[in-house]
Amino acid sequence: MSEKVNIKQLALELNISIATVSKALNDSYEISLKTKNRVWDLAKQLNYTPNPAASNLRSNKTKTIAVILPCVANNFFSLAIKGIEEIARKYGFHVLIYQTHEDCEMEISFINSLLNGRVDGILTSVSSSEDNADYYENLVKKVPLVFFDRVYENLDTFKVTTDDYHISYQATSHLIECGCKKLAYLYGLENLPAGKARFSGFKDAIDANGLTISDDFIVKYSDDENTNLEHIKVLLNHHKPDALFSSIEEFVIPSYTACKELRLEIPKDIKILSFSNLATAKLLNPSLTTITQPAFEIGNEAAKCLFKILTKRGIDDDKSIILKSELIKRASTGC
């Protein structure tokens, strides 16, 4: 039988539930030996195998990896998780997700709780609230760990990131080509390399075009939604920028809301672009110009790296992987 047999087919064939088959295959005490024998016999007969790709992973006991990230309510991260799950599934691994909400205390406490063998490996996109580089420097020596998107540099493990500097430079140049001269910057992730690179790309494009930016034109991210809205309204009211460059998706809703409340027309009165994987970007009023990160691919690539460590194959490959983001021009920059 050349076709791959799955657990559902075994259940159907034996006229028992999928749950029973699953438990029998796992040698659960809940299942009678008689039933187990029926399941095992058929599984053998039909050449059922839990997962061929998993054969190198016998030493990994939990068949589980953890993804630790700031927040799942963000299209970038939910897509990245999908990319991770696709690879994990090939190896027959489960994927646990844990949200840190940028709280480094929670982050460390949770990771510590995993260290006694509760998972075989960790994928993480670190909190922006504090610099935990020392903690991670120690951690990568103890547990298979791969960073994606939000990374610490100079650590001896795989890191998957995007070309934040270049795409920010390119997007800023697009705003300037559309005629913007007074660009404001909505600043996120300022403690992290990604945040710094995004701002540098913006700043360098401003400088290269003979423009300037003062501190009044920079709004820093707050984890309180209303504060972000108020700060953007103050920026728009007092300083009248002609463009908002949003470095994280979380600024999109307050930016649009502020313009609506102040009756500013996008893109006539102000142009907006944002780093964002928002699924509704093209349906917004007006549709939003985005810097779209290859979120699924980042997760996918990071998971591949983790399985390189777990299978001990390819661990000498280049450890710094940089994928390309894309500038998608839509109505909010209107040119």
Q: Which residues bind a second copy (CB under 8 A)?
A: 6-8, 17-19, 22-23, 26, 28, 63-64, 71-73, 75, 78-79, 81-82, 85, 94-99, 101, 104-106, 108-110, 112-113, 118, 130, 132, 134-135, 138, 252-253, 256-257, 260, 278-280, 283-287
Q: Which residue, 25 or 218, is less far from a second copy as judged by CB?
A: 25
**In the complex, minimum distance from the CB of residue 191 to a second copy, in angstroms, rounded to a whole number:** 15
What is the phi-psi region of residue 117: left when phi exceeds 0, alpha when psi lies from -120 to 50, beta otherwise? left
Query: Cα dihedral sign for 39, 40, 45, 48?
Result: positive
Rounded CA gap, 11 and 23, in Å? 11
Q: Which residue, 173 or 300, is less far from a second copy as judged by CB?
A: 300
**In the complex, minimum distance from the CB of residue 74 to a second copy, in angstroms, rounded to a whole number:** 8
Q: Which one, of 201, 135, 210, 138, lies nearest residue 171 by Cα?
A: 201
Contacts of 162 (CB under 8 A, 6+ apart): 149, 194, 293, 294, 298, 322, 323, 324, 325
Token pair in block for residue 120: 């075989």
Do residues 192 and 225 make contact, with C-beta atoms less than 8 angstroms apart? no
**In the complex, minimum distance from the CB of residue 149 to a second copy, in angstroms, rounded to a whole number:** 16
Q: Which residue, 17 or 37, is less far from a second copy as judged by CB?
A: 17
Question: Bridge-partner residues for 183, per DSSP?
Answer: 243
Q: Which residue, 8 or 312, is less far from a second copy as judged by CB?
A: 8
**In the complex, minimum distance from the CB of residue 109 to a second copy, in angstroms, rounded to a whole number:** 5
**In the complex, minimum distance from the CB of residue 169 to a second copy, in angstroms, rounded to a whole number:** 28
DSSP string, 306-334: HHHHHHTSSTTS-SEEEEPPEEE--GGG-
**In the complex, minimum distance from the CB of residue 135 to a second copy, in angstroms, rounded to a whole number:** 4
Q: Which residue, 37 or 112, is less far from a second copy as judged by CB?
A: 112
**In the complex, minimum distance from the CB of residue 302 to a second copy, in angstroms, rounded to a whole number:** 17
Rounded CA gap, 11 and 267, in Å? 58
Residue with tokens 């909400």: 101
Q: Which residue, 69 or 176, is less far from a second copy as judged by CB?
A: 69
Rounded CA gap, 231 and 186, in Å? 10
